[in-house]
């Protein structure tokens, strides 16, 4: 650590990747900028297979300038990053890992990742409880920031959606573990609510990297053939097109089994959309019965390994009946979805705006510099 290093933050991670970890890094950059926190950016790309989003501040791509570094690299990839980046990044400065984890227990197999860090930041209190139970270093909740945009009706024409339909929207990335997103459960709830015949409702499924899970894609295509209200969008959409798709929807649905945070939910809420979401895991920091339709669930054991999620761990099994009833309620009541949307936007602006998250990050950084002498 150079004694002359000024107070600020080096942000190291997949800052251009069009993925969850990429958006996580960019959410931190938004927050730091909003709070006036000096920062630099290191665009780490090792092992990334996602498309690149080039919309970052090129003037900040200037390496290690400060005494504290934040690694937006998940625990299972940190040893690889340490080897790739070397002593300059892991030898002298105060090191923070920014991790998301979606289950209630943090894996023992990742315990070694703590050894190169001084503390860990996480996006939700759900993550905080899971990681802190295993962590020898402080675990601090600094949520993702959400870009504040003005709500408004989106243009449905680019997506082939009917202007006179009520549009439910759900999203899943086949590159991750789609069983966690429970897209087939969302389809089942929609079909239970509206049947397989023509109705005034449509369910749009935005599916990224479809080639990664042909089995699930085949099942979804089969459902779409049986129910004309189901629309699959599996082509690439830019960030602005994704925003336009959320704007074009009436209600965002997330019948997830678990979320580390729930960024898609938050992005819909800030656009004043009604949200239907499982009442468990990271999203419950900002969703509640006053601003969303919270779906009942039971915790169940995983029947097998799903990627990093081990057999015998627990996640939610959202009630299809309850989700279907809530879909009908939102569909039928303009007053309900208007009330939910307005409260959702107000809560997200208060809790998750770049300014709010930036203040929390700045306060934590000030404390780090004061107690570490850096």
CATH value at residue 117: 3.40.50.11930
Q: Are residues 28 and 128 in the same domain?
A: yes
Q: Are residues 94 and 227 in the same domain?
A: no
Q: Are residues 297 and 220 in the same domain?
A: yes
Q: Are residues 201 and 340 in the same domain?
A: yes
Q: What is the average pLDDT across 104-121?
A: 97
* Start-to-end Cα distance in the chain: 8
Q: Are residues 240 and 359 in the same domain?
A: no
Q: Is residue 3 part of a domain?
A: no
The model's pTM is 0.93
Q: Is residue 152 part of a domain?
A: no
Q: Is residue 56 part of a domain?
A: yes
Q: Are residues 137 and 256 in the same domain?
A: no
Which pLDDT does position 197 carry in this prediction?
A: 63
Q: Is residue 187 part of a domain?
A: yes
Of residues 28, 8, 26, 14, the one with CA closest to residue 94? 8
Q: What is the side-by-side order of every strand in the sheet holding 9-13?
A: 39-43, 9-13, 68-72, 94-98, 119-122, 139-141
Whether the pLDDT of residue 61 is over 90: the answer is no
Q: Are residues 98 and 220 in the same domain?
A: no
Q: Are residues 312 and 213 in the same domain?
A: yes
Of residues 251, 204, 198, the one with CA closest to residue 226? 198
pLDDT band at 52 (very low <50, low <70, confident <90, very high): very low
Among 16-25, 153-162, 176-185, 325-334, name the one with the lowest average pLDDT: 16-25
Q: Are residues 215 and 194 in the same domain?
A: yes
As a three-state string, the secondary structure of the chain is CCCCCECCEEEEECCCECCHHHHHHHHHHHHHHHCCCCEEEEECCCCCCCCECCCCCHHHCCCCCECEEEEECCHHHHHHHHHHHCHHHHCCCEEEEECCCCCCCCCHHHHHHHHHCCEEEECCHHHHHHHHCCCCCCEEECCCCCCCCCCCCCCCHHHCCCCCCEEEEEEEECCCCHHHHCHHHHHHHHHHHHCCCCCCEEEEEEEECHHHCHHHHHHHHHHHHHCCCEEEECCCCCHHHHHHHHHHCCEEEECCCCCCCCHHHHHHHHCCCEEEEECCCHHHHCCCCCCCEEECEEEEECCCCECCECCCCEEEEECHHHHHHHHHHHHHCHHHHHHHHHHHHHHHHHHHCHHHHHHHHHHHHHHHHHHHCC
Q: Are residues 170 and 235 in the same domain?
A: yes
Whether the pLDDT of residue 53 is over 60: the answer is no
pLDDT digits (tens, 9 = 90+) for 205-229: 999 999 999 999 999 999 999 998 9
Q: What is the average pLDDT across 249-255?
A: 99
The CATH code of the domain that includes 182 is: 3.40.50.2000
pLDDT digits (tens, 9 = 90+) for 128-175: 999 999 999 999 999 999 999 888 889 999 999 999 999 999 999 998
Radius of gyration, CA atoms only, the chain: 21
**Backbone torsions φ then ψ of 204, nearest 5 degrees:** -100, 125
Q: Is residue 4 part of a domain?
A: no
Which pLDDT does position 198 carry in this prediction?
A: 62
Which pLDDT does position 239 carry in this prediction?
A: 87
Give the range of the structural domain holding residue 119, as residue numbers without chain letter: 9-145+353-372
Q: Are residues 314 and 365 in the same domain?
A: no
Q: Is residue 214 part of a domain?
A: yes
Neighbours of 250 (CB within 10 A): 19
Q: Is residue 185 part of a domain?
A: yes
Number of domains in the chain: 2
Contact assessment for residue 322 and residue 1, using Cβ atoms and an 8 Å cutoff: no
Question: What span, in angstroms and rounded, lies between the C-alpha atoms of 57 and 77?
Answer: 25
Contact assessment for residue 168 and residue 202, using Cβ atoms and an 8 Å cutoff: yes
Q: Is residue 309 part of a domain?
A: yes
Question: What span, in angstroms and rounded, lies between the C-alpha atoms of 303 and 261?
Answer: 24
Q: Are residues 114 and 169 in the same domain?
A: no
């Amino acid at each position: 650590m150079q004694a002359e290093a000024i107070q600020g933050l080096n942000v190291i991670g997949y800052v251009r990747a069009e993925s969850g970890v990429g958006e996580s890094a960019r959410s931190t950059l938004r927050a730091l900028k909003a709070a006036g926190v000096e920062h630099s950016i290191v665009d780490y790309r090792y092992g990334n297979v996602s498309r690149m989003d080039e919309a970052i501040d090129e003037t900040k791509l200037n390496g290690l300038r400060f005494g504290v570094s934040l690694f937006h690299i998940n625990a299972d990839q940190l040893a690889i990053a340490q080897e790739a980046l070397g002593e300059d990044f892991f030898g002298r400065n105060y090191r923070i890992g920014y991790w998301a984890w979606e289950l209630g227990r943090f894996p023992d197999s990742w315990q070694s990742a703590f050894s190169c860090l001084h503390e860990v930041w996480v996006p939700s209190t759900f993550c905080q409880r899971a990681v802190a139970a295993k962590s020898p270093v402080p675990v601090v909740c600094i949520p993702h920031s959400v870009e504040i945009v003005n709500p408004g009706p989106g243009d449905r024409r680019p997506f082939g959606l009917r202007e006179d339909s009520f549009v439910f929207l759900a999203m899943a990335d086949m590159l991750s573990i789609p069983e966690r997103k429970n897209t087939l459960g969302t389809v089942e709830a929609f079909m239970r609510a509206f049947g397989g015949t023509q109705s005034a409702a449509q369910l749009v499924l935005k599916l990224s990297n479809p080639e990664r899970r042909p089995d699930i894609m085949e099942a979804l295509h089969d459902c779409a053939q049986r129910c004309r209200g189901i629309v699959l969008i599996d082509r690439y959409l830019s960030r602005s097109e994704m925003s336009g798709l959320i704007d074009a929807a009436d209600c965002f649905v997330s019948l997830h089994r678990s979320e580390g945070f729930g960024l898609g939910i938050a992005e819909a809420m800030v656009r004043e959309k009604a949200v239907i979401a499982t009442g468990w895991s990271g999203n419950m920091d900002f969703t509640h019965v006053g601003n969303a339709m919270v779906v009942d669930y039971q915790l169940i054991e995983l029947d097998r390994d799903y990627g990093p999620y081990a057999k015998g761990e627990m996640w939610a099994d959202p009630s299809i009946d309850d989700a279907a009833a809530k879909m009908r309620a939102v569909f039928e009541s303009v007053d309900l979805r208007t009330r939910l949307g307005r409260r959702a936007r107000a809560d997200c602006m208060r809790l998750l705006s770049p300014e709010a998250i930036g203040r929390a990050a700045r306060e934590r950084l000030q404390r780090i510099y004061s107690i570490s002498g850096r």
